[in-house]
Amino acid sequence: MMTDENTNPETGAPEAGPGAADPSEAVDLAARLELAEAEIADLKDKMLRAVAEAENVRRRAQKDVEDARKYGITGFARDMLAVADNLGRALDALPEGAEKDEKFGGFVEGVQLTGRELANVLERHGVKEVRSHGEKFDHNLHQAMFEVEDAALPHGTISQVLQVGYTIGDRLLRPAMVGVTKAPAGAGAGK
């Protein structure tokens, strides 16, 4: 007769010993294993969520740094636009032919050079002029101040620029204040 190491050689009955498994103990081990697997799954889910949240925070912080670098001078640039406007007004206020006059020639040239240098500095820092005259009106870039009837230009075309607009990066810094054409009263609005 063959004997198993877990059987009593004399009686042939299973022997209770260190290797014998109690059925209640097997159920307890299975429950504990199931509980441990659930806990592992829960911890894995929490870890994945924490990693994803950390990545989102890193991306947001990186975008904030890029935006601060790109748009941090917005307030200063907006203030400098007033200086550019005043330089333009100074040139517009001079009598015609003043740049050729002996008294005003140097002054006019100096104001023109200062205006060009200011425009170059603003452009180096991402501030660009919005091209408007003759363009189609775009409410994202322009602010219509008045409408004027004009049969020579298509409806909705900018015919006059009262104040130049500017962008910084891909954002509007200041809208251009413009006059927009409309179809003459007798021509109908569908032009």
Arithmetic mean of pLDDT, 64-88: 91
88-143 tens-digit pLDDT: 898 888 888 888 888 878 888 899 999 999 999 999 999 999 989 999 999 999 99
20-30 tens-digit pLDDT: 557 778 788 88
33-60 tens-digit pLDDT: 999 999 999 999 999 999 999 999 999 9
Report whether pLDDT(191) > 50.
no
* Rounded Cα distance, 10 and 39, in Å: 46
Tell me the pTM: 0.64
Model confidence at 185, pLDDT cuts 50, 70, 90, reads confident
Domain boundaries, the chain: 127-191
Residues 6 or more apart in contact with residue 117 via CB below 8 angstroms? none
Report whether pLDDT(157) > 60.
yes
Predicted local confidence at residue 1, as pLDDT: 47
Predicted local confidence at residue 139, as pLDDT: 93
Superfamily of domain 127-191 in CATH is Head domain of nucleotide exchange factor GrpE (2.30.22.10)
Highest-confidence range of 6-10, 106-110, 116-120, 185-189, by mean pLDDT?
116-120
